[in-house]
Amino acid sequence: MVLLAICLRAWGADADRYSDPLQLMLRQVEVEVPFHAGDTGPGEVRPKVLAAMARVPRHEFVAEDQRDLCYESRALPIAPGRRMPPPYLAAMLTDILSLESGDRVLEIGTGTGYQAALMSLLAAEVLTIEADERLASAAANRLARLGFGRVEVGRATGLGGWSSRGPFDAILVRGAVTQVPIGLIEQLAPGGVLLVPVSTAGGQPVLTRVAVKPQKRRNKQPKFFVQPLMPIEADPLPR
């Protein structure tokens, strides 16, 4: 709670208005993550993930008329066919990635920039790609204004990734796709992890984890392991 108080002081005039909703959100996240994760996801949220969530002013990443709703456990519309995921999902995705301070992260689907801001507090660098030009521009301006200097926003469509800036220790795909994108696996560093929602036959997307096993010999073909985790809320990835 001491850390939370410090973070709220940095918010200035908004601190009083959003202090209680933020504390309630953090308590809900602690309960909801293990509930939604089932047997294959995190049993509980790491303290450093909750501490990072306490430092990100979520209300700054939504429209003015959504600010009183953004700390609740709900998805919020941000564009046609696009939603900002509920807080527990942002926490769960971040937790599963197990980010370390030296990691380089690629995100496909910037949205409002909230997830990128959260991950940037745990990693060295976050590169994030957005297909919607309006969302990309707004996210870049917002992240710069709020001081999230470890995030770089790029405008691109599809699953081409950002090969010229790779490899990455972690890649997060925010929208649902129909199959695991091999091109993104190739942009992972040894020991890297890809998280992607995969939907088949019109069913609910299943969060899928792909891990690249480090090889002792440099010329040896890397091995990767695919693990379906749990059904999650995910809009289709914009093309």
Q: What is the mean pLDDT of residues 123-143?
A: 97
Q: Pick the more confident residue, 144 or 220.
A: 144
Question: Which pLDDT score is estimated for 36?
Answer: 87
According to CATH, the superfamily of the domain at 2-231 is Vaccinia Virus protein VP39 (3.40.50.150)
Contact 142, 112 (CB under 8 A): yes
Q: What backbone phi and psi angles, to 5 degrees, belong to 21?
A: -60, -35
Structure token digits, residue 113: 């920039």
For 51-89, give the DSSP string.
HHHHHS-GGGGS-GGGTTTTTSSS-EEEETTEEEPPHHH
Of 114, 122, 160, whose CA–CA distance to 138 is shortest? 114
Q: What is the pTM (predicted TM-score) of this model?
A: 0.91
Question: Which pLDDT score is estimated for 224?
Answer: 87
